[in-house]
């Protein structure tokens, strides 16, 4: 063993608990003070009580409440952001869908200006679109596919 690198050892160090109990043990400090011991700890005594050292339980409960409020606020912010994102997507011009020229001109001539106009029509009644001149089932499939892919790309871009 190297000399003068180890702390001094006290074989008769006294440990004193706040309840008044004391005992001796070996330690590197001559006197140890503790808040709780086996004589007063609820696990050993069988008592059902909360050991609150300097308001720790109260501080923990307050922190827990703040965390819950923070989580609620975060959820609300995410919901609001998702709604704004959807509104932004629906307000985009029809050209954002990158439709074939023929399909774009048919929809433009029928006064469909935004993505929201097309989505509303797809959700309410697709047959109205099929009644447009030059717009058939294949065009409807193309339009649905473009709306889905563009919406997925937009949502991915917004999340980043």
Domain boundaries of the chain, sorted by first residue:
1-48, 79-159
Residue 110 has pLDDT above 80, yes or no: yes
Six token digits for residue 53: 């050292």
CATH of domain 1-48: 4.10.80.400
According to the model, what pLDDT value does residue 50 have? 62
- What fold does the segment set 79-159 form as a domain? DNA polymerase; domain 1 (1.10.150)
The pLDDT tens digits of the residues spanning 11-63 come to 999 999 988 999 999 999 999 999 888 888 877 777 766 666 677 878 888 88
Six token digits for residue 100: 């074939």
Q: Lowest-pLDDT range, 61-70, 128-137, 149-158?
A: 149-158
């Amino acid at each position: 063993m190297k000399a003068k690198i180890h702390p001094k050892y006290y074989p008769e160090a006294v440990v004193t608990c706040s309840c008044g109990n004391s005992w001796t043990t070996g330690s590197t400090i001559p006197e140890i003070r503790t808040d709780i011991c086996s004589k007063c700890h609820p696990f050993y005594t069988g008592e059902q009580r909360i050991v609150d050292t300097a308001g720790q339980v109260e501080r923990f409960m307050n922190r827990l409440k703040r965390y819950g409020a923070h989580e609620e606020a975060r959820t609300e912010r995410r919901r609001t952001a998702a709604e704004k994102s959807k509104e932004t997507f629906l307000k985009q011009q029809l050209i954002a869908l990158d439709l074939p020229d023929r399909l774009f001109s048919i929809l433009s001539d029928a006064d469909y200006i935004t993505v929201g106009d097309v989505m509303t029509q797809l959700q309410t009644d697709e047959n109205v679109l099929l009644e447009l001149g030059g717009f058939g089932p294949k065009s409807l499939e193309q339009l649905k596919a473009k709306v889905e892919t563009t919406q997925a790309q937009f949502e991915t871009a917004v999340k980043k």
